[in-house]
Structure formats: C-alpha cells, structure tokens
Structure 1
C-alpha cells in the first residue's frame, strides 16, 4: 500500500508518497517553490488564506503524480500535518469566512491574559495545562469581539489540518490534540473546556465532532478524486499539528523522548506522562498524537517564533545573491562567538517563552571596522541556537532533561554551522534522521488505517543517519552568558 502525507507549512506545502512496506518516501514535492508570504496588515498580525493552502495542496499532489514513480490508484490512506494554533472559520456551506489568524499572530495576547485571570490561574493551569494566552480560543474571541458579523455566520471552527481534510472529504472533525493546542481541552474532564466556552461565550455547536488522531476523518469525494487522479473513498486517517507530527516522524512517542525542529519557528518537543505544566506558561503542554484517557501522553512544547524566519530575512535583505549554503560556508570561517557580534532572533511576534513579550530582533555590538557580512551569518545562527538554550533551560526547570534530541535533516538542520551551534549551546547530542513532516504524516495515516499493527512496526526501518555531539560546549557557554545578559536587558525595558 502507498500512503500520502501532506504537510501544511507556513512557508509552503510539502507532499510525500510513502511505501508502507519500507516506510520510505517514493517521491516528495513542494509547492510553491518560493516561500509563501504572511499577510501582516498591522504590527503583530499574521494571516494566510486557507483557500490558498488548499490550492497549494492540490498543486503539490499533482506534482507528485507527475513524477511517474507510482500509480495514484495505489494510495490507500492520507495523513495531514499542519501549522499549529491557526484559526479557520467556515459557514454552513463550508465557505471560509475570513483569512486564518495563524500561529505567530499576537493580537489576542491581552484577551488570553484576561481569560487567565477571570477563569483563575490555578484552574487554567490544572485543567488546561496552559494559560489561554495567544492561542486559537483567544483568536476566536478576538473575532467575536471585533468582527461580530463574521462570528455570527460561523458554523464550524477548526484548525488548518481540519480544513484541508474538509476540502478532501467534505467532513469536519477535530481531535483532543487539536483542541488542546487551541487551549479548548479540559484534561481533568477529557472534554471541551466548559470554563473556556463559558468565559468566551462560545457554543459547543461550532466545534466539530471529536475523534482520535488515528481514526477515519472522512473519505475523499468523487469530485476531488477526479481533480487529483486519486481513487474516490480514500480515508483520511491521521491529522496532527506539525510539532506532534514531527515528534511522531522521529518515533518520539514515549515519556522522556525529545524531538526538535528549526523551520520558520523553532521547537523542542518532549513527551511526558504526567499532567504537568509550567507555572508561567512559558512552555506549553498539549495532548500528544497517542494521548488517551487510559494512557496520558503529553507533548511539552517550547516554541521560538523567530528562527528560520530570521535566516530568511537576512538572506532576502543582506544576501539576495547568495544561497543558504554559501551563507553557511562564509559564516563557518568566522570564529565561534562572531567576534562579539550578537543577534537576538525574536522578531516574529510575541514569544511565549518570554512571557508573551514582543522583544523584536536585535543586531548588537556592531564594530564597523571589524564585522562583515560573514559575521552576521554566523551571529544569527548562534543567536537562534542560544534562544533554543534559553528555552531548554526552562524545560529543564520543568523536569525535561534530554540526553539526546532527535531531529530531521531539514530546514536549519541542513546547516552544519547551525547544527554545531545547537549541540554546543544546549550541550545535548543530536541524532539526525532523513525524515520530514510529510513523511511523518504519511506514516501516521498508515497507523490510522492499521497498515501497521503497532507504532514500533511503523518505525521498524528507521535509523539515524548521523550523531552530532558537543565538542565546544564550554566556549559556547561563555558566549551564551553574554548573549543572555543582552536579552535580559531588553526584557527589563
């Protein structure tokens, strides 16, 4: 059987077709080739069009079909991974009512802070495991408050992956994992949070039926199948946010296992089996893909908004004539520490690990006689790695102490310069795998359709392709202390 995986990213859509027998991708395709822009009509706002996602998904599937490396009729299940926390709202005819307010949008911070106080901080943390913060529920409350004419037309609220599944099948479902990432799930009751619904004035009716992550979420319609050369009736058997899915793709499913990714945003994601939370909600806890009422599996997530987006910004504005590979090579010739140049990478909205403050990106300690373009290339990689260290120290405060971190060889981890900075800044070895989100989504669909009889069988052929160990941790630690002082100075303003 062949499995189709769709990864709805912020920058692009990626699709992979995986052979269930080998768990290897036959072909992968990305659409568009250039990075998709984020609409930001006001400071702190970030939106994308769900219909644009759907168009790009279709183009990516057609692109894989055109490879001629498989027969589309052999695809037996579809899995979907998606950018987390986005808000999609549709009317009774399944028409999108407004652009999606996506994960890095900061407009609802104060709405969430008010909910945290009014519901009760201890009650929120013990039941939701998080502050409502700037998550999906608070974004929906912003629409209710500021766009009542749109809110009144809402038939269903969903996350980005639910929307793509709806376009494929005509059915709308959601999972405990998705609801938890929207801060809409009560872990004590294992149900939609009555506290959140009551505080924000939401009706249960606007939320889709709740189904397990690994289950049948609908079947590809004849009309869609005809457009995409697929069989009608293929089941969508897996939907997950991108970070739980990244963990799944790296076989991070049991307590103590940890994954990381460094795309547009950067994430460290560890699995726990206790309903624990960070008292300051700087790191967040969600239901993992294998969460169940009798087997609590939680994903403890550190998110840094400003990672790969900084790398892209520097390329677009300072190195348009260079490839990322050339930038890394130039930065690699600069000494560790970038001769004192420091970059704070926080230029993509409110950072949860910084207590939802908008710090902005900063280029600091510039010596006009010393520092060059190459210094900037190295300093931004080090700055991102130090942001990971800062966040990992918060996770360590909360009992997550990884001995190794698994990552896919993708995005910033394609850079040897970044990989070196990451392992030495965090002082944790990294295992690199030849895997990505779309492959993980495909494998998830295989678990959902029971092609694999167990999770271990789904990853029977997975092997690390490289182990990277710290060798300069002491040197990086000294530089990190200086970087952290600069960050704390900005936070104190």
Structure 2
C-alpha cells in the first residue's frame, strides 16, 4: 500500500507519497515554489484564503504524480497535517464565507481575555488547561461580534486541516486534539466545553462530527479522485495539527519525549501524562494524537511566532543576493554572541509566551563601527535560539525537564549555526531526523487505516541522522542569553514577576 501525506503549512503545501511496507518516501513535492503570502488587512491581522490551500494541495499532488515514481492508484489512504489554531467558516454548500483567520492573527486577544475573566481561572485551568487566549474560539467570537450577517450563514467551523479533508471527502469532522487547540475541549469531562459554547453564544451544531485522530474522516469523492488520478473511496484516515503531527513523525509519543520545529514559527512540544497547566497560559497543553481519557497524553506547546519569519526577514534584508546556505555561511563569519549584538525576534504577532504583550522585533546594541551584515544575520538566528531558551525556562519552572530534543533536519535546523546556537543556549542535545510533516501525515494515515497496529510500530527503528551536543561555545551563549533576557524584561513592564521565567 502507498500512503499520501499532505502538510498544509503557512508558506506552502507539501505532499509525500510513502511506501507503507518500507516507510520509504517515493516522491515529495510542494506548491507554490515561493512562499505563499499572508494577507494583512490591518496591523496584527493575518489571513489566508482556504480556497488557495485547496488549489495548492491539488497542484502539489499532481507534481508528485508527475515524478512517475509510483502508480497513483496504489495510494490507499490519505493523512493531513495542518497549521494550528486557524478558523475556517463554511456555509451549507461547503464554501468558505471569508478568508481564514490564521494562527498568528492577534485580533481576538481581548475576546479571550474577557472569556478568561468570565469563566474564571479555576475553570480554565482545571477543564480547559489554558486561557481561551487568542485561539480559535476567541477568533470565532470576533467574527460573531464584528461580522454578524456572515456569522449567521455559518454551517460549520473548522480548523485548516478539517477544511482540506472536507474538500477531499465532502464530510466535515474534527477530533478532540483539534478541539483542544481551539480551546473548545473540556479535559475533565472529555467532551466539548458547554461553558465555552454558552459564554460565547455558539450553537453546538457549528462543531463538526467529533472523531478520533486515527479514524476514517470520510472517503475520497469520485469527482476529486478523477481530477487527481486517485482511487475513489480511499479514506482520509488521519488529521492532526502540525505540531502534534511533527511529534508523531519524530516518534515523540510518551511522557518525557520532546519534539522541536523551527519553521515560520518555532515550537517545543513536550509530551506528558499529567494535566499540565501554566497559570499565565504562556505555554499551552493540547490533546496529543494518542490522547485518551483512560491514558492521557498531552503535548505542552511552546510557540515562538517569530522564528523562521525572523530569519527570512534578516536574509531578505541583509543578504537578498544569497541563498539560505550562503546567508548561513556569511553569518558564521561573525563570532558566537555576535560581538554583543542582540536580536529580539518577536515581530510576527503577539507572543503567548510573553503573555500576549506586544514587544515587536528589535536589534539591540548595534555598533556601526563593529557590526556587519554577518553579525545581523547571526544575531537573528541566535535571537531565535534565545527565545527557545526563554520558553524552555517557563516549561522547566512548571516541572517539565527535557534532556534531549528530537527535530527534523529541515527549515532552520538545516543551519549548523542555528543548531549549535540552540543546543548551547538551551543546554539540550538535539537528535536530527530525516523526516517532515508530510511524511508524518502519510504514516499517520497508515495507522488510521489499520496498516500499522500502533504508532510505535509505524515509527520503530528510525535512527537519527546525528546528535548535536553543547560544545565549548556554551559559556559565551549563556552570557549572551543573560544579556538578551535583561533587554527583553526591560520591555515587559506590564508583566508581574510571577509571569516571568527563572533565569
């Protein structure tokens, strides 16, 4: 059997076709070739057209077919990974009523804060494990108040991956994992939160059918199969947000296992069997792909909006003539610590780990007689590594103590400079693997369709490409981080000391 994995990212859609028996990737393709734009109609807003996602997915699938590396009719199941926390609203004809409000959009913060106050800290911490914050439920509340005529036409709300599955199958479904990332899920009762629905005035009928992550979320429509050269009726057998899916792809499924990504956003995703709560909701626990009521598995997610986006901006601004490897080579000419130049990479929307305080992106300590484009490029990557360290300290203060991190050898982890900055700033070794979100989604489909008995079977015997350990630069990075942290704290006057991580 062949498995098709689709990864709906912010910048592009990537697909992989995997031989289920050998776990070998037969073909991979992405579309578009350049980064898909984010629509910014007002400062702090971020939207994308769901219909563009669907068109891009079809282009990517056809590109994979065009390699001739496999017979498309042998694909027996489809899995989907997707950018988390977005809001898609569709009418009864399955058509989007507006552009999707995506993960880095900040407009709904006041709605989440008001919900927190109304529902109370105790309920939010014991049932939701989070503040409603800037997540999907709060985004829907913004639509209800600001676009009431459009809101009245909504048949279903969904996450981005739910929409893609809807286009493939004609069936609207969701899962506890998806609902938890939208802050609709009551962990204490293992059901939709009636309190959240009642507070916001949402009709339960807006929520699609709730199913397990690994299950049949509909069969491929005949007309779509004909368009894409696939077999009608094959199931969409897996759907998960990109970070739970990344953890699955890295076989991070059990307590103590940790996965990391450094794409457009940067993420640490630590698996625990405890109902972890951060009182300030700076890091956020969600139901993992293998979470059940009887056997809880939560992924505690640290998200840095400005990670790869900061690195991309720095490259385009200071080294537009270079490729990413070329820019990395230039950055490596500056020393560890960038001769005192510090970068705060928080320019892609408000950051949850900073309690939604609008810090923005900064370079600090710029010396016109010392610093060059190499320093600016290096400081940008080091600033992302320091942001990871800051968030990890929040996790450590809450009782999570990872010893090693697993990451795919992709995106910013392709940069040796960034990888070494990460391990030296955090003190954690990193295991690098040859995988990505589309491969994880494909193997997730194999689990969902029953080809693999368990997730552990799907990912067994996959060794890391290599492991990177802290080295002699660690003291320089520790000193630079402490200076970076002091600069950051000087910009957070609204935060009480209890909201700040330990040094």
1:319 deviates by 1.7
Q: Secondary structure at the match of 2:3?
A: strand
1:21 deviates by 0.9
- Residues 129 and 277 in structure 1, CA contact (< 8 A), matched pair in contact too: yes
Q: Secondary structure at the match of 1:268?
A: strand
Q: Secondary structure at the match of 1:491?
A: coil
Structure 2 CA distance, aligned partners of 1:174 and 1:130? Answer: 20
Structure 2 CA distance, aligned partners of 1:443 and 1:455? Answer: 9
- Residues 271 and 297 in structure 2, CA contact (< 8 A), matched pair in contact too: yes
| TM-score, L = length of structure 1 | 0.99
Cross-structure match for 1:21: 21
1:333 deviates by 1.4
1:318 deviates by 2.3
1:322 paired with 2:322, answer: yes
With 449-458 and 370-379 compared, the bigger mean Cα shift is at 449-458
Cross-structure match for 2:501: none
Matches within 5 A, 1:423-442: 423-442=423-442
- Residues 255 and 273 in structure 1, CA contact (< 8 A), matched pair in contact too: yes
Structure 1 CA distance, aligned partners of 2:124 and 2:460? Answer: 39
- Residues 404 and 428 in structure 1, CA contact (< 8 A), matched pair in contact too: yes
1:316 deviates by 2.1
Structure 2 CA distance, aligned partners of 1:276 and 1:267? Answer: 17
Structure 2 CA distance, aligned partners of 1:24 and 1:421? Answer: 31
Structure 1 CA distance, aligned partners of 2:2 and 2:64? Answer: 13
- Residues 22 and 461 in structure 1, CA contact (< 8 A), matched pair in contact too: no
Kindly provide the CA deviation profile for residues 100-141 of structure 1, in whole angstroms up to 9, marking residues without a partner as x: 000000000011000000010111111000000000000000
Structure 1 CA distance, aligned partners of 2:319 and 2:43? Answer: 25
Cross-structure match for 1:476: 477
- Residues 80 and 161 in structure 1, CA contact (< 8 A), matched pair in contact too: yes
Cross-structure match for 1:187: 187
1:216 paired with 2:216, answer: yes
Structure 2 CA distance, aligned partners of 1:489 and 1:464? Answer: 40
Cross-structure match for 1:115: 115
Cross-structure match for 1:485: 486
Cross-structure match for 1:355: 355
Structure 1 CA distance, aligned partners of 2:337 and 2:232? Answer: 56
Structure 1 CA distance, aligned partners of 2:8 and 2:116? Answer: 30
Structure 1 CA distance, aligned partners of 2:168 and 2:336? Answer: 49
How many aligned positions are there? 493
Gapped regions of structure 2 (runs ≥ 5) = 495-503
Cross-structure match for 2:43: 43
Matches within 5 A, 1:55-74: 55-74=55-74
Structure 1 CA distance, aligned partners of 2:370 and 2:275? Answer: 51
Structure 2 CA distance, aligned partners of 1:236 and 1:283? Answer: 31
Kindly provide the CA deviation profile for residues 267-314 of structure 1, in whole angstroms up to 9, marking residues without a partner as x: 000111111210111000100000111111111000000000011112
Structure 2 CA distance, aligned partners of 1:194 and 1:397? Answer: 32
1:492 deviates by 2.0
Matches within 5 A, 1:220-235: 220-235=220-235
1:84 paired with 2:90, answer: no
With 311-320 and 159-168 compared, the bigger mean Cα shift is at 311-320
1:317 deviates by 2.3
Structure 1 CA distance, aligned partners of 2:399 and 2:458? Answer: 29
Q: Secondary structure at the match of 1:154?
A: coil
- Residues 307 and 384 in structure 2, CA contact (< 8 A), matched pair in contact too: yes
- Residues 17 and 442 in structure 1, CA contact (< 8 A), matched pair in contact too: yes
Q: Secondary structure at the match of 2:450?
A: coil
Cross-structure match for 2:380: 380
Kindly provide the CA deviation profile for residues 299-354 of structure 1, in whole angstroms up to 9, marking residues without a partner as x: 10000000000111122222211111111101111111101111100001110000
- Residues 23 and 461 in structure 1, CA contact (< 8 A), matched pair in contact too: no
Structure 1 CA distance, aligned partners of 2:257 and 2:121? Answer: 29
Q: Secondary structure at the match of 1:163?
A: helix
Kindly provide the CA deviation profile for residues 78-109 of structure 1, in whole angstroms up to 9, marking residues without a partner as x: 00000000000000111100000000000000
Gapped regions of structure 1 (runs ≥ 5) = none
Cross-structure match for 1:197: 197
With 461-470 and 233-242 compared, the bigger mean Cα shift is at 461-470
Cross-structure match for 2:53: 53
- Residues 318 and 377 in structure 2, CA contact (< 8 A), matched pair in contact too: no
- Residues 267 and 301 in structure 2, CA contact (< 8 A), matched pair in contact too: yes
Kindly provide the CA deviation profile for residues 376-400 of structure 1, in whole angstroms up to 9, marking residues without a partner as x: 0110010000000000000111111
Kindly provide the CA deviation profile for residues 60-87 of structure 1, in whole angstroms up to 9, marking residues without a partner as x: 0000000000000000100000000000
| TM-score, L = length of structure 2 | 0.97
1:179 deviates by 0.2
1:242 deviates by 0.1
Cross-structure match for 1:207: 207
Cross-structure match for 2:399: 399
Matches within 5 A, 1:158-307: 158-307=158-307
